[in-house]
Structure formats: structure tokens, C-alpha cells
Amino acid sequence: MGMIVFIGIVALAALLALGRRFLLPVLRPAVRTWDGEIVAVIVHYARNPRLRGDDSPLSAAPVIRERAGGGERMADNRVVDALPSVVLRQLFGSTIYDTLNPRLNLPTGELRRQAVQAAKSGGFRFDLPEPVRVAVEETADGDLRWRKAR
């Protein structure tokens, strides 16, 4: 009986995760679409990690600049794995986000240490060497959803 309940909970969680991905654009349609570029990523780390030496980012919010001369805005999706592979490659030096040993793509260990300290105390802005073009959908609430431009 306990196994059936467990399987039901896992199935419900999977449906909610997939449903959010596919239903969100329907429930909150875009009111404005524009071309932009991811120019930076704001990285946040845990202030006091549960495990010593665990310096894995809690979130990474892309900063998107409107191509038509607008200002910069921070996207609402802060999931590290949701970033395009081009952004991950610039941010971590590879396309695979290594949760056990995330290393920001900075030239020296001292700069990485300073960046981790800044990320633990409010956030570290990592400016991308090459901006990544994205198509942005803005909802009535001002939330931004983006996908890689073709």
C-alpha cells in the first residue's frame, strides 16, 4: 500500500512539473514579444551551506537586454539547468553544470573565491564575454519567459 502511495506522489509531482511547463504559456499569455540578449547572469550561493565546501549555486538569473535600445531586466526563471548551453559554457567553462564541483569560469582561483563570497552575500554578476540572443515573451505581470533565438 505504501509503495502505491509513493508512486502516486511521484506521478503527481511529474504531472505538476510538466503541466507547469506546458500550461503556463496558456494560462499567462504573452502581451509583448521582443528580441533580446542575455548579457550577464546573477549567481546566488547559499550563505551557510549544509555541507562544508558545498559551493553550488542556488540560482542563476539571466540579465536580458532589449535589442531595440531598452534597458536590462532580470528574468524570473532562476534555475541553473534552464540556462542555454551557450550560457553555461561561458559561465562554468563547460556545457554540463557540475553540481558537485561548480567552478565559475574566471581566470584565477582568487577571483573565483571572491566571486563565491560575493554570491553568498547577495549575488555575483557574471558578465558574459559573448551575449546570447534570445526571444523574450513578457506577460501582463511583467514576468519574462525566454527561449534561444534561431
* Domain count along the chain: 1
Per-residue tens of pLDDT for the chain, all 150 residues: 778 887 888 777 766 665 555 555 555 677 888 899 999 999 887 666 555 555 566 788 899 999 887 789 888 777 777 888 888 889 888 656 565 566 788 888 899 889 888 888 888 999 999 999 999 888 888 888 877 776
**Is 14 inside a domain boundary?**
no
What is the radius of gyration, based on Cα positions, of the chain? 18
Residue 88: closest CA among 54, 49, 43, 140: 43
Q: Decide: pTM greater than 0.75.
A: no
**Is 16 inside a domain boundary?**
no
Question: Domain span at residue 124?
Answer: 32-148
